[in-house]
Amino acid sequence: MEFVDIHGHYAWGIDDGIRDLDEARAALQNASKVGVRVIAATPHVISGTHFEKDIQHFKERINELKKEASQVGIEVHEGSELFLNHDAPTSIRSGYFIPYENTKYALCEFDVRRNLPDDEDEVEEYLYSFKSHGYTPVVAHVERYFKKGIDIDRVSEWVDMGYFIQVNASSLIGTHGSTVLKNAEALIENNLAMLVASDTHKSEGRRSPATLVDAYAFISKKYGEDTAHILMHDNPLHILHNEPIVRTQVKKVGFFKKLFGR
């Protein structure tokens, strides 16, 4: 299986991801070994903290990463993960973020340390800021924002608005606990998950490119190999080519089949 990984902190020395060039080289080598052929480098950009000079620095570092990645047969695309807070509309309007290279798609996130606020002014208005400026938000690791269980209706509304839902591979292998795992499963089962990515922060372990292999096996076994391929290859590639994505068609398992396994 060849993976297209659209969420990873491979660009070293910028955020809480890969620390230095040596670790970046190790991460790229490990990514290549597990079948990653294309990645998007998506350093954290914090609204109200990072400005034009920072964005330029991040782009320069990603260009350095491109040269390193080419040596192990990996293609790198620019991107960023914009943290959405009260300064987000200004950052979006001013262009203080990096959309996926040569596309109108942009990765963004909320604070994973707290439950997603109910206030639309803190969530939906920030997402709409992207749309009003011609971008489609790709919402990172949606399964991690709902500490008491996923709100399927709310996420469905995001999808109805045209926003894209990304799930972390690490969530599907239990790294973030049982609630997050159940949330991720619910997103896939309701055909709301559109992309699965590594969110790589380390060169090895449970936040590394290797999580993609285990997540692919998990999805293939539970939801079918076609679903896994759409989420981890086809749709990520569509994003990077600025193309429409394909929605999955997972069939819901009935109660008795879940209970008795038949």
Report the CATH number at residue 179: 3.20.20.140
β-pairing, 81-83 with 44-46?
parallel
pLDDT band at 66 (very low <50, low <70, confident <90, very high): very high
Which amino acid, one-letter code, is at 178?
S
Domain region containing 107: 3-260
Q: What is the mean pLDDT of residues 195-208?
A: 97
Residues 42-57 have a mean pLDDT of 98
Q: What is the pLDDT of residues 204-260, one digit of tens each?
A: 999 999 999 999 999 999 999 999 999 999 999 999 999 999 999 998 655 444 455
pTM here?
0.95
pLDDT for the residue numbered 196: 98
> What's the domain count of the chain?
1
Q: How far apart are the first and last CA of the chain?
A: 29
- The residues, ordered by sequence, that sit 6+ positions from 237 with a Cβ below 8 Å of its Cβ are 4, 38
Q: Above 70 in pLDDT, residue 262?
A: no
pLDDT one-digit tens code per residue, 172-184: 999 999 999 999 9
Rounded to whole angstroms, what are the CA distances from 23 to 68, 117, 252? Answer: 12, 36, 41
Q: What is the pLDDT of residue 53?
A: 98
User: What is the Cα 259 distance to its own chain's centre?
Assistant: 32
